Structure 1
């Protein structure tokens, strides 16, 4: 193995971790977060929801299966930086086309290895997610700390425009098209339209700044609000669009950032979690079925719970907090009872991760059918 340049990681509160360069040699800044996934690092790296974040993997060894050409969840790696304890010295998987570190270097992703990621994770759990810098150019901690403190914070960050598609595109249904969906791309993962396609849904993906008229121009059966990065308090345009969809009784399904947008459209606020939910092992209770799902998450913000508890009134009728995280009682989903809309905070497409929540895509087809039936009866 070739010798590595020394590298340093400095947190906003002054905590310092020293290691070696991993990926591209350079300097980077972002929000320090950790992901508890034991597999699926390629999907994590290419998830646009991680834009602006320096991700530390809690799994001790990363890179074993290399990188393939099938599992990317978007067109590029989005993380601002990458932190691993023990980079695998070999790549061993029949699908691998190249090594993980080579891919990080090719895409200019600055990382650090040889770090005690257990200590880093425990610190972030105790103190909270915060700004961080990684440098393999200079290992002077004081200089890097000053630059960390001058870097942008995640609270108040509008990042959706950086990750959305520039032009609309269509993902065709598998077999005959039963339904059509207009998806608002706030950082959509490729596995979402795949899951929809398996159910006979043709999805047209639109840029994040699209208005309601644009989304509805093709007379879709429903509108999907995708996952994405940044502070949902900045998404006023998307909230306004969602309110228009609710007024017109268009079926709406939102996940992650889309859940927060639907919640804001229904009158709920948002807040920043101490260290967020990131990984593929979060237990969530579905109050509609009373089942506990093991789910994939990536969010640092959450919806403020309604003061009235599980059910609350809005200008669009009654709404139920349909899902809740069993670790910390965070609102994990909403179901509107008088208009055709629902959402969840986690990622039911789960790439990588468990498929306990895959039924939510079936729930969308049922919602479309019920809405069509209601219109026929009207």
Structure 2
């Protein structure tokens, strides 16, 4: 199976049938849509379509179960029985046109898929569950997803997480699962750490490193970063995290030149505000304004609260920062143009840890270790992972930027 960004096979055909303008489609129209599905991925779509059809035909499922599951997935937009044929006969027509090269049945998490289907409010759950159990787990999962989307059934966050986890077990990318779902997201809350990687100000600096300026304006990149919620996050989460970090930096006693240096070092001089007459506080105000604008668009009912008082102790982060400080001092940011000594970056980071927020300082430390390509021991790497867990972050916060820095 190819890695499809969107649906494929029989479930993609169901999606196209449901999306048709007419309340119901005829056989010729459906065959035309099937030909479109078969033509996906330079013809590989035919392999997936033929394989899905063959799995159903090779199963022992009775015709009424196959028809009931199909009608749920298409929301009754095409019923073979209304055109004088059975479900199996119609599937055989598809199989004749797009025969399967092979149709290996995916055992997959059959029971987990079937259990999720049975407890849902989707129409015809017994039939869809039997497809997953008795024909093919992945096809049953995809037809179930199609029914959920066709009927616009509300999905709570915990059920959404189970769907995404099951999709990952089948090797499906996130969009195949979550695009089109009506998720009932919990309220925005920066105390809930459900991002799969970096967040907030440290996350933003990475967007401006490298050659970003060849593709977009600073305003466009800033808006994209503020709206780049991770899979499974309530819409507006990244903007809320970024606003919280930004307000903490703005309200902190750090002098403006230190804030300017902080940006330039963490962004690896990708956006040189000092060369453009923009100081650190001016830039932070622009970031905050963009965050508020994004939040108004994606979470209009959300009123950003004042950042909570920081109570986390700074000592664990300071120990790690001071442990790598000599190696940071041996390097510089942007060494070939307007270099910033690593010791200067370390001094600013220490101020963030002790005078702003240890969590933000920790995330910026990870960022600076990556920018300066600082080598790490396995022991240091493990301690950084433990600190990330202490602050409630996903393990990818450390592994993504720093795994290659570890000296094994």
Say which one has the larger Rg. Answer: 2
Class of the TM-score when normalised by the shorter of the 2 chains: under 0.3
Q: Which of the pair has the greater relative contact order for Cα pairs under 8 Å at 6+ separation?
A: 1
**TM-score normalised according to structure 1 size:** 0.22
Structure with more of its chain in helix, by fraction: 2
Structure with more of its chain in strand, by fraction: 1
